[in-house]
Chain A
C-alpha cells in the first residue's frame, strides 16, 4: 500500500511537540523552584502550544546597559527557571561590572562569579556584587548583562559533529540533550563563553531564551524579572514589538562582530572594553 505523506505542518508540529516534551521534561526534572508550577509543567505536555508556528517569528534580544543596576535578579531567575547548576561556574546569563578608576586606562571587570562577590554574598547560589570600590575614586562604571547571542551564523552549531545543537526557524539556538555526545567542541567554539558543560546530563547547556516560555507568548525569565527594563525581548517580524522599536530607535551594536557570527543580541550603552 502506498503510504500517504503527512502534510508538512503536522510533521512540524510533531517535531515541535517532541522538542517541547524534551525541554519541558528536562525542565521538570531539574526544576527545583521553577517559575513553572507543577500544574503548568503537566499541561506543558502539549508544548509548544498547538497554534505556535516557528516560521512566523524571528526572536531577538536587546540589552540597554545604561539601565542595568547589577541587581542580578536576572541571573537568579534564570537559574531557578531552568534548573541550572547553582554554583559559580555554570551560567546561562550573567552580569559584568566594568569600573574605571581615576587615572586608570583599562576597566576593572568582574561578574557575580567573582570569588570576592561570592564571599560578600555568603554563598555561590546567591548573586550579588560586593562594594569593593566604596573607598576608591571611580571615574566611570557600568554593568553589562550577558547572554547567549543566538547568532545568525552560530560557530557552536557549525562545529557540532552530530547536529545535536541547531538553529530553529524562529532564530533560537537549542541543544538536543538526548542527542548531544558531550564533546564540548561547541563550548570551545563559542566566542562569548555562553556555553558550559552540564555535569548532571553530561551534555552542553546554554541559554534558550526560555524557549518553553516564548513559544507560549511569555517573556524569557530574565526579561520578566528585570526591574529596570535593561533586557528587551521580542519578535523582529512584528515592527511594533519592544525589540523592533529598541533596534529602530537606538544605534545598536553587537559583541565581537569580527567573528562573523552575527549575534542577535543587540546592545546599547556598552564600551570598547566589553567583549
Chain B
C-alpha cells in the first residue's frame, strides 16, 4: 500500500525525522472535544450541584451535550492511531508510567457516569413516555427506564440523591479528565512550547470557557429552531460566567507566555522568531485579540451596560462564537504550534493539514460535526426542555425538581 507522506517544509536546521509531524489536526480536535465536555458538564452542574436557578433551563440539555461529545472523544484518537484495532492494548496492559495509559479508563468511566446521570435525570419523563407510547416506542422507553415505573415521592427522592452524588463525582471527573489532557502535553520535556506546569490549568479554564460558549450558541440556535422565546436570563447568566472564566483563562495564558519569554531559556531567539512570524496571526490575532479580548469587551458591555433583548442575544452569540474559535486556536497553537518548533531549537517547521484522508481537515470537520448529530438525535428521543415537557406531559412540570442542595 502506498502511503502519502505529508512532509513539512522548514527553515533553519531540524532533525531529519522531524519533517513528518507526529501529531496532526486530529490531536488538536481531541482536547477541543474533551474541553467542550468538561465545559458543558460544568453548566449542568451549576444547577444540579450548586442549585443555580439561572442555569436550570439548560441543565438537562447541557448534560446531553456533554454526553454527545464524550461519546465521540475517542474518535479523533482512533483516527490518529497507526493501529486503531490495537487501541485496547492500552487498557489490557496499561503501562502506568505513561501519562496516557489511564485515558481509556478515564474516558470509559466518564461515559458511564454521564449515561447514569442521564438515566436519573430523564427517568421520570421516560416513565411517562413509556406509559403514553405504543409499540417500539414503549419498548424503547421501557428499556431506558430499565422497566422500573416507580415515580413515587420516595423513588424521586432516591433519584435526586443519586443525581446529586453523580454530579458531585462528575465535576472533578470532568475537570480531572481535561486537566489530565493538559498534563499529556505539559509533562513532555522534549518540547519547549509544551513543557509547562501551567498547562493542565490552562486547559481546564479554556475547557470551561468553551463549554459556556457552546451552550450560549446552542441555546439560541435550538430556541430559534423550536420557535420558543430565548431565555434572556439564562443567556445573561451564561454570558456573565463566560466573561469571568475567560478573564482567568486569558490571564493564565498570558502568564504562561510571559514565563517562556522572561525565563528566556535556550532557544528563545527561535521562539521570538516563531511568535512574531508564523504564530503571530493564529496566536496574537486570532486566539488572544479577536478570540479573547474582543469578546471580553463585548461581554463586559452586555453585562455592565445592562443590555437586554436582541442586542444581548446577538452580542452573546457573537462573543461565544469568537470564544469557540479562540479555544480551538489555543488547541491548535499548542498541539501544532509546539511541533513547529524543532527539537534542535535551530529550525521552524510549518504544517498544512491535508484536505482528504484519515487525518485531514475534512475528517476533522466530520469528527466535530458528529456530536451535533448525536445531540440532535438525543434531544428528539429525550427532549430536555421544560416547555417540551409541558406540551407532552402536563404533569411533568409539577414534578420539576428543586435544586438538589435545597432539598
Contact = CB atoms under 8 A, between A and B. Distances in A.
A161 B16 contact: no
Given A159-B98, A197-B82, A192 B343 contact: yes
Interface in B1-33: 3, 5, 7, 13-20, 22-23
Contacts of B93: 162-163
Chain A interface residue number, banded: 35 or more
Interface in B186-228: 188-191
Contacts of B87: 181
Interface string B339-379: 10001111000000000000000000000000000000000
Contact of B94 (A161, A189, A190, A197): A161
Which among B15, B86, B188, B346 has the greatest number of chain A C-beta atoms within 10 A? B15
A239 B339 CA distance: 42
A183 B89 contact: no
A183 B90 CA distance: 11
B100 interface: yes
Contact of B16 (A163, A189, A193, A203): A193
Nearest to A202: B82
Interface residues of B, number: 41
B101 interface: yes
A187 interface: yes
Contacts of A28: none
B20 A155 contact: no
Interface in B300-347: 339, 343-346
B152 interface: no
A245 B153 CA distance: 83
Contacts of B77: 183
A215 B346 CA distance: 37
Given A90-B17, A183-B100, A185-B100, A162 B90 contact: yes
Contacts of A96: 13
A170 B190 CA distance: 25
B192 to A, nearest CB: 10
Contact of B190 (A89, A155, A157, A162): A155
B95 interface: yes
A183 B299 CA distance: 40
B97 to A, nearest CB: 5
Contact of B98 (A111, A160, A179, A190): A160
Interface in A3-55: none
Nearest to B95: A163
B98 A187 contact: no
Contacts of A112: 16
Which among A159, A160, A180, A259 has the greatest number of chain B C-beta atoms within 10 A? A159
Interface in A62-97: 87-91, 94, 96
Nearest to B14: A193
Given A181-B90, A183-B81, A111 B103 contact: no
A109 B17 contact: no
Interface in A140-180: 146, 155, 157-164, 179-180
A196 B90 contact: no
B263 interface: no
B82 A259 contact: no
Nearest to B345: A275
B119 to A, nearest CB: 31
A199 interface: yes
B92 to A, nearest CB: 8
A269 interface: no
Given A109-B344, A188-B23, A180 B82 contact: yes
Nearest to B267: A275
Given A161-B90, A200-B3, 8 more contacts: A158-B98, A162-B90, A188-B23, A191-B189, A193-B14, A196-B17, A202-B83, A259-B189
23 contacts: A91-B17, A158-B98, A160-B95, A160-B98, A161-B95, A161-B98, A161-B103, A162-B90, A162-B95, A163-B93, A182-B86, A183-B77, A193-B14, A193-B16, A196-B20, A200-B3, A202-B82, A203-B82, A259-B189, A259-B190, A260-B189, A275-B344, A275-B345
Interface of A: 87-91, 94, 96, 109-113, 146, 155, 157-164, 179-185, 187-197, 199-203, 259-260, 275
